[in-house]
Amino acid sequence: MRRVDAEVVDAYIDPDRCCNQGSIVKLQNGELLLGYNEERGQTHADTGRSCLIKSSDGGKSWDPSTRVVVEDYTEHTGNWDCAFAQISDGTIIMHTRICGFINAPGAIANRIDEQAMGYIRPHQTGYAVYKSKDNGQTWDGPIPVSTYPIADSGTAVCLAGGTGSGHVVELPDGGLLMPLEGTLSPDGYILGGGVNWEPSRCFLLRSDDGGNNWHHWGTMAFDPASIINFQEPSLTRMSNGRLVSMIRVLFRPARYDYQWVTHSEDDGVTWAPPTRTRLWGYPADMIQLQDGRVLSVYSYRAEPMDVRGCTSTDGINWDPADEFIIADCHSPERDVHPQYWHIGYPTVVQLDDGTIVAAYHEYTKDEWPIQYMQTARFRLD
């Protein structure tokens, strides 16, 4: 497989906290904003806080003095899976999951997903938006988000939510679209099934007042046979008006599949049946490049562990022959770290000069490896 000539930069490392699952945005003032999850300790536990850091030189360096905590954690609450976007009036919008019941003894013990991650996980207790009018320096919020009829609180770790690739997309009529995953059941999805089990679906919320109020807009992908979980949708709007989304897929009981893709020609009201690509890896972020191609970037979470990309001329058809490696990732030994596979979650932008900047999380090579944020700058022919 071909490899691009990438300039790799360490964006942000905290020796005391894991930093992961980024969301990168090119601001109207030319800066790059990299949002990310900052855990409350050295383990990826999805109970931390949403932060950001900036670059003023196109991702060649990242200034630690620009770091901002958008929403901090407390003893009882946290937030994670933040996604950022800047809309036409200059407002930056961040949306994120809210969680509680941190390390509650016995309350959620012995779930399959906890066994896989190696620690007791929280409950999701809601969903929220935060807004900044000054390029990310200060923030208003939380603004509660109604995800109804999809559950945003209940007994599960992950209910309504997404990843850093779930950037809000602005339509020509000023409407805003937010791509999320979730279930109708407040018990969420359970990998092995259960009494209230149901598969996760991907769906859209829409706001017509700048992100203050949201309502359900469309179902992007759902399997009524209750076999396929559609998760962590990306979203980009092409110059011809087509919305495209690459989706992470998990087959019941616990088999990860290739990425699936779907598209909409009516601003997200209806979606084509999702189809399976031959691109393995997850999750993905997508943008349309200046030359018209659509670029998808994603984590390859199997040996040799790396971040990859692929281009498509229409956002619908994807050929593995067009796949390439962006950057290698360090994976801890399995007997050293229970989350040895948790690399990547890339997010991507293109600069005015054509340079592409992908951000993702990587592991340090310390005795106890810690996730940190890294970026790769490259160009495509």
What percent of the chain clears pLDDT 70, i.e. is strictly above it?
93
- Which neighbouring-strand residues pair with 220? none
Query: In this model, does residue 32 exceed pLDDT 60?
Result: yes
Query: In this model, does residue 73 exceed pLDDT 60?
Result: yes
Whether domain 7-378 has CATH 3.30.379.10: the reply is: no
- Per-residue pLDDT at 253: 79
- Per-residue pLDDT at 193: 47
* Spans of all domains in the chain: 7-378
Alpha-carbon separation of residue 362 from 4, 8, 138, 197, 343 (angstroms): 18, 11, 28, 33, 5
Q: Point out the least confidently predicted range of 2-6, 30-34, 72-76, 352-356.
A: 72-76
- Per-residue pLDDT at 192: 44
**Model confidence over 194-213: pLDDT tens digits?**
456 789 999 999 999 999 99
Alpha helices by DSSP H, 205-320:
none
- Other C-beta atoms within 10 Å of 275: how many? 12
**What radius of gyration, in Å, describes the C-alpha atoms of the chain?**
19
Mean pLDDT for the stretch of residues 57-81 = 95
**Model confidence over 238-271: pLDDT tens digits?**
999 999 999 999 998 788 999 999 999 999 999 9
- Per-residue pLDDT at 105: 57
Alpha-carbon separation of residue 345 from 6, 310, 358, 373 (angstroms): 17, 15, 10, 10
- Per-residue pLDDT at 156: 77
What percent of the chain clears pLDDT 90, i.e. is strictly above it?
83
Query: In this model, does residue 50 exceed pLDDT 50?
Result: yes
**Model confidence over 88-117: pLDDT tens digits?**
999 999 999 999 876 665 544 444 445 445
Query: In this model, does residue 123 exceed pLDDT 90?
Result: no
Q: Point out the least confidently predicted range of 38-47, 51-60, 87-96, 265-274.
A: 38-47
- Per-residue pLDDT at 186: 86
Q: Is the pTM of this model over 0.85?
A: yes
Q: Point out the least confidently predicted range of 28-37, 117-126, 345-354.
A: 117-126
What is the rounded average pLDDT for all residues in the chain? 92
Secondary-structure percent of the chain, ordered helix, strand, coil, rounded to 5: 0, 45, 55
